[in-house]
A and B are shown apart, each in its own frame.
Chain A
Amino acid sequence: MEKKKLLLAEDDQLLASLLTFRLQKGGYEVKHSADGKQVKEYLSQNTPDIIVSDIMMPYFSGMELIAYVRKELNLHVPIIIISSAGNEENVLNAFELGANDFISKPVSPSELLVRVARELNKN
């Protein structure tokens, strides 16, 4: 069975390393991008099955990423946002822009795996 492609947009290398490892172990093909430039470059040539993105990133925030994916690329892939605790306003804005789910930091890899699977099963 072909692995689902997951784009992980996260500038925190520490968190990204752990999440990439766990997601790969969970059977996903993970592309990690550490900033918005890399995200745009990847999306110009690839369509992932799901996107997991931090809200605060260099060059291109998670909000801009959602708007770019939904409005410019017109893609309907599920997007899960990683948000800091106490950032409820950003989460609401993310939902308005078209995010499908969010997970708060510190991120539990096991919880993220469940949320990713749930979003993919919806489609």
Chain B
Amino acid sequence: MKTKNLLDLHQLSGINLHELSTNVDLEPILEECMGELDLLQQLVSLYHENALEFIGAARIHLLNSDFKELGLAAHKIKAGLAMMRTDSLHAIIVLIQKECSEDQDPKHLQFLSDCFAEEYPTVKDSIDTALANLNHG
């Protein structure tokens, strides 16, 4: 995980996220897709759309202090992050959802959302590289 706030994230969350890698292995998903690269490509596009939608929605919900909606947005994206095995983003989303249902600390939620937005481009690059490798493999 390469979030520049990694140390803070570790301290605030109490969870060691150091071991979470941004390297993405799309082979297991390709197997689930029965080798259909077109379907995998479609899933990757949806994944990116969902992540960007979450980043936008999180900004709005934080501005409105609408933690219920933020929690729902986190819930909505969580399964996709797990499915694509993007562990670093999944770990952040789990923390956001937990914070929304428990303490609802706006500063912590802002921090976690910023972590997600910072981490996403790195994960996106890894996914796109993994997909390109499969396409050329």
Interface residues of A (CB under 8 A from B): 11-15, 17-18, 21-22, 25, 56, 84, 105-110
Count: A-B pairs, CB below 8 Å: 50
Contact: A14 with B83, CB < 8 Å? yes
Interface residues of B (CB under 8 A from A): 32-34, 36, 39, 42-43, 46-47, 50, 72, 75-76, 78-80, 82-84
- Would you give 29 A-B contacts (Cβ < 8 Å), ordered by A? A11-B76, A12-B76, A12-B79, A12-B80, A13-B46, A13-B50, A14-B43, A14-B47, A14-B79, A14-B84, A15-B79, A15-B83, A17-B42, A18-B39, A18-B43, A21-B33, A21-B34, A22-B32, A22-B34, A25-B34, A56-B72, A56-B75, A84-B79, A106-B79, A106-B82, A107-B79, A108-B32, A109-B32, A110-B32
Q: Which of A12, A15, A56 has the most CB of B within 10 A?
A: A12
Q: In the complex, how many angstroms separate the beta carbon of A36 from the nearest chain B beta carbon? A: 15
Contact: B80 with A14, CB < 8 Å? yes
Main secondary structure of the interface of B (DSSP, over half): helix
Question: Complex formed: what's the CA distance from A106 to B94 in Å?
Answer: 13
When C-beta atoms are compared, the residue in chain B nearest to A16 turns out to be B46
A residues less than 8 Å from B80 (CB atoms): 12, 14-15
Contact: A17 with B43, CB < 8 Å? yes
Question: Complex formed: what's the CA distance from A84 to B98 in Å?
Answer: 13
A residues less than 8 Å from B78 (CB atoms): 84, 105
Q: In the complex, how many angstroms separate the beta carbon of B77 from the nearest chain A beta carbon? A: 8
List 20 additional A-B contacts (Cβ < 8 Å) besides A17-B42, A21-B36, A56-B76.
A12-B79, A13-B46, A13-B50, A14-B43, A14-B50, A14-B84, A15-B83, A17-B43, A18-B39, A18-B83, A21-B34, A22-B32, A25-B34, A56-B72, A56-B75, A84-B78, A105-B79, A105-B82, A107-B79, A107-B83
